[in-house]
């Protein structure tokens, strides 16, 4: 019986094509900028990059025209509309609509214009709210989603399924990677809508700068979370482009979990805040544990290289140089 999943497709040529034209969609974001740095470090010389003002990925005709004229050989799709719980609740139509438009336009035009391989990037929020821990790839679509970000999650699930559908119908090499919580340079350190790690870093830095006695953090500090440095994700993306051509999406995680309390203590140490850390247990904790099963990627031969301590130190250096200094 023929293999209908396309898993028989050959991999391993990506790293040999350093002059091939590669379109990195979303190259200014946390993920896209890390992928660009990694590709440049690896000696790739023909990256095609477009800002939002140069190419509106939600416009079908603009994307079609771009692929028709540029004809990239490879595509890494890191462009997305992202945001926290508040943004998802406030703009649900944007989170489902914009993301569906971006990925539908890019995936279809890439196939139509002869792209050799495409990598679609999603998020760990694709999994059910009560998925088993650690979360295996097989948990997808086995239960209800977390309601606070289901609009974004539905779009990302559709992207995975679109890649699989094009593989089944057209034998086209489209793969998907699902990263865990990411951090690193070019992260969002905004006081209102940043994620837990950059938010902690900013708060400890400002407390240190203001000689504050204490920093109050919401919750008990007991929930377990997993964090991956974005440079490790970029390394995994290059690895998948070169080594993986399977039907199923692949989790990209660190495999290491820390409590929010351990994370806060580590950030406090890296920043050099000497005051007290106070936990406000009247505030909610969120999900008790969220860890992705990274065994599939590990079995393919990839493991992360940057420890949380080293990654936090690098991120804080970047924050000081690029966020703090620019405000002064």
Ordered DSSP codes for 248-304: S-EEE--S-EEEHHHHHHHHHHHHT--SEEEEETTS----SEE-B--HHHHHHT---
Per DSSP, which regions of the chain are E strands? Answer: 22-25, 47-48, 74-77, 117-121, 173-179, 181-183, 214-218, 224-229, 250-252, 257-259, 276-280, 289-290
> How much is the mean pLDDT over the chain?
94
CA–CA separation, 183 and 175 (whole Å): 23
Strand partners, 226: 257
Residue 285's pLDDT band (cuts 50, 70, 90) = confident
Residue 320's pLDDT band (cuts 50, 70, 90) = very high
Amino acid 306: pLDDT: 98
Residue 21's pLDDT band (cuts 50, 70, 90) = very high
Strand partners, 279: 217
Question: Do the beta carbons of residue 235 and residue 254 sit within 8 Å?
Answer: no
Quick one: average pLDDT of 285-302? 94
Number of Cβ within 10 Å of residue 308's Cβ equals: 22
Tokens of 152: 């974004």
CA–CA separation, 201 and 247 (whole Å): 38
pLDDT digits (tens, 9 = 90+) for 88-132: 889 999 999 999 999 999 999 999 999 999 999 999 999 999 999
Amino acid 85: pLDDT: 77
Q: Which single residue is written with the structure tokens 């938010």?
A: 199
- Please check the confidence at residue 224 and state whether its pLDDT lies above 90: yes
Q: What percentage of the chain exceeds 70 in pLDDT?
A: 96
- Please check the confidence at residue 264 and state whether its pLDDT lies above 90: yes
Active site residues: 152
Residue 5's pLDDT band (cuts 50, 70, 90) = low
Q: Which single residue is written with the structure tokens 């070019």?
A: 186
Q: Residue 219, by phi and psi: left (phi above 0), alpha (psi -120 to 50) or beta?
A: left
CA–CA separation, 320 and 164 (whole Å): 42
Amino acid 53: pLDDT: 97
Nearest alpha-carbon partner for 270 in 201, 184, 207, 195: 201
What global pTM score does this model have?
0.94
- Please check the confidence at residue 2 and state whether its pLDDT lies above 70: no
> When comparing pLDDT for 3 and 16, which is higher?
16
Residue 249's alpha-carbon distances to 70, 105, 211, 274, 324, in angstroms, are 28, 20, 47, 43, 38
- Please check the confidence at residue 280 and state whether its pLDDT lies above 80: yes
pLDDT digits (tens, 9 = 90+) for 176-222: 999 999 999 999 998 777 788 999 999 999 999 999 999 999 999 99
pLDDT digits (tens, 9 = 90+) for 153-184: 999 999 999 999 999 999 999 999 999 999 99
Nearest alpha-carbon partner for 319 in 271, 284, 287, 269: 271
- Please check the confidence at residue 3 and state whether its pLDDT lies above 50: no
Assigned CATH class of 14-186+228-255+291-306: alpha beta
């Amino acid at each position: 019986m023929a293999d209908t999943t396309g898993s028989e497709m050959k991999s391993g040529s990506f790293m040999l094509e350093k002059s091939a034209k590669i379109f990195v969609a979303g190259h200014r974001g946390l993920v896209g900028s890390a992928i660009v740095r990694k590709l440049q470090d690896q000696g790739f010389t023909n990256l095609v990059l477009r800002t939002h003002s140069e190419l509106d990925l939600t416009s079908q005709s603009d994307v079609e025209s771009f692929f028709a004229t540029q004809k990239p050989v490879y595509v890494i799709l890191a462009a997305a509309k992202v945001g926290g719980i508040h943004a998802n609740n406030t703009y649900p139509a944007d989170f489902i609509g914009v993301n569906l438009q971006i990925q539908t336009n890019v995936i279809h035009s890439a196939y139509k214009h002869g792209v050799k391989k495409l990598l679609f990037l999603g998020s760990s929020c694709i999994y059910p709210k009560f998925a088993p821990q650690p979360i295996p790839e097989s948990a997808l679509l086995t239960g209800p989603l977390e309601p606070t970000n289901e609009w974004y999650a539905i779009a990302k699930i559709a992207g995975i399924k679109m890649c699989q559908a094009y593989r089944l119908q057209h034998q086209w090499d489209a793969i998907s990677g699902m990263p865990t919580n990411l951090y690193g340079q070019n992260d969002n350190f905004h006081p209102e809508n940043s994620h837990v790690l950059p938010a902690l870093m900013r708060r400890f830095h400002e407390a240190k700068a203001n000689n504050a006695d204490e920093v109050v953090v919401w919750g008990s500090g007991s929930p377990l979370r997993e964090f991956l440095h974005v440079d490790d994700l970029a390394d995994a993306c290059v690895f998948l482009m070169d080594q993986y051509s399977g039907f199923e999406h692949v989790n990209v995680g660190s495999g290491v979990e820390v409590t929010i309390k351990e994370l806060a203590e580590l950030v406090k140490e890296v920043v050099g805040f000497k005051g007290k850390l106070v936990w406000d247990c009247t505030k909610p904790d969120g999900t008790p544990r969220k860890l992705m099963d990274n065994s599939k990627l590990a079995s393919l031969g990839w493991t992360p290289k940057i420890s949380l301590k080293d990654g936090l130190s690098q991120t804080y250096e970047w924050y000081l140089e690029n966020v703090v200094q620019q405000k002064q």
